[in-house]
Structure 1
């Protein structure tokens, strides 16, 4: 979406196209996407830096369209997490184009292993239930996400209590003594990282340690480090698949 948004923003006239190709490589399915536009293009001396944080083609573009180019840095990190690579080709013109502007084409690849068959996913879900019934506290401010996680956990036989902010999560941990906490990172007032730090400080006096798993839609590697440094025991990325949730709970309780 970042690439398409940039292509539309910088192309005041002309065309924007999105294409996708697939190929199998060493047992993995690799997809290549191309987002191309007939916009102003990117100077050759800027192309090596365009995916760095806070880079934008030139100052005149920044003044005209605003922004810092951070979206391209995020796109590059996301592609890297999917085992792919990203690059830009400029100037670029579509076959038969009569545009008098340089244009550009952003390419990126992503590789995936074959999906788990439905039967195998169900077996994984059932196997993870062997953790046994737990009391799980879910701290999530989004009502839809909170209900979804609660329903998945209850299907595994767990008892679930839920709160919508970090301060309530801290209070509930010491009032209810749950076996496990699932903590969203972004919540109003006190966020998930602050709440986890507060819990760990209070636990230090007793030597207790309740496992805390982060719930987040962030995919950046730095977020995982922030979670662990705050005292969390694991990290679950949204959207949450039932099998992944089961496995994360099982790992957390195994220590």
Structure 2
């Protein structure tokens, strides 16, 4: 099927193919990414983009894709090291047609001397879950405020959360800052928080993954879909929602997130607009 997206000509295929076990089709995935583009693109712009593709559906093994695939449209820009940069809605539609369900970005823009944000990835080790992540997120908000930083929470789209804030400094400085705060939390709440990556140390605790700020790492972009039994979204939250806690990952599907954006706008807009 031939379509035009803002004057870009695209060929879409297998639109009726289910990409999620609940029956969500490729056409519905494409529609979501096209409709969310206006708020998602500011978070993708000028950043190298890695993808997790699920051509056989989200219930089958997918694969991580870093470099631009063969037969990339000429109008899709790439970074000097060959990674896709998503600057326009047509690129989102093209990626969705490739079953790139998950879109992940760096904490820095291509060519920048350093990051423009710091991220704390909150990963609960069962039996800990979202409730424990919410408590840590609220404490992180207060700790970042001490340093004059506004914090922006979102779901991971799975079992955890992320808290981000604007940051100006070098790559070494952002790593040191995130690592020191994670260590501070782990020392203050030894029964609840760990800053150690070893999986055997995580049960019942929230791992504050400070390593997501490494130059080589990417984190799921706000508004990205996640693979699973049903399509969930890495959704921005208000701090009132974090405090009240009446949500799970399943609360935020594509339709719910599109409705939220129509009512609330982009809750992370200020983060995307932060100076670099």
Task: Look at both structures and tell me which one has the larger radius of gyration over its CA atoms.
Answer: 1
Whose helix fraction is larger, Structure 1's or Structure 2's? Answer: 1
- TM-score norm. by structure 1 comes to 0.28
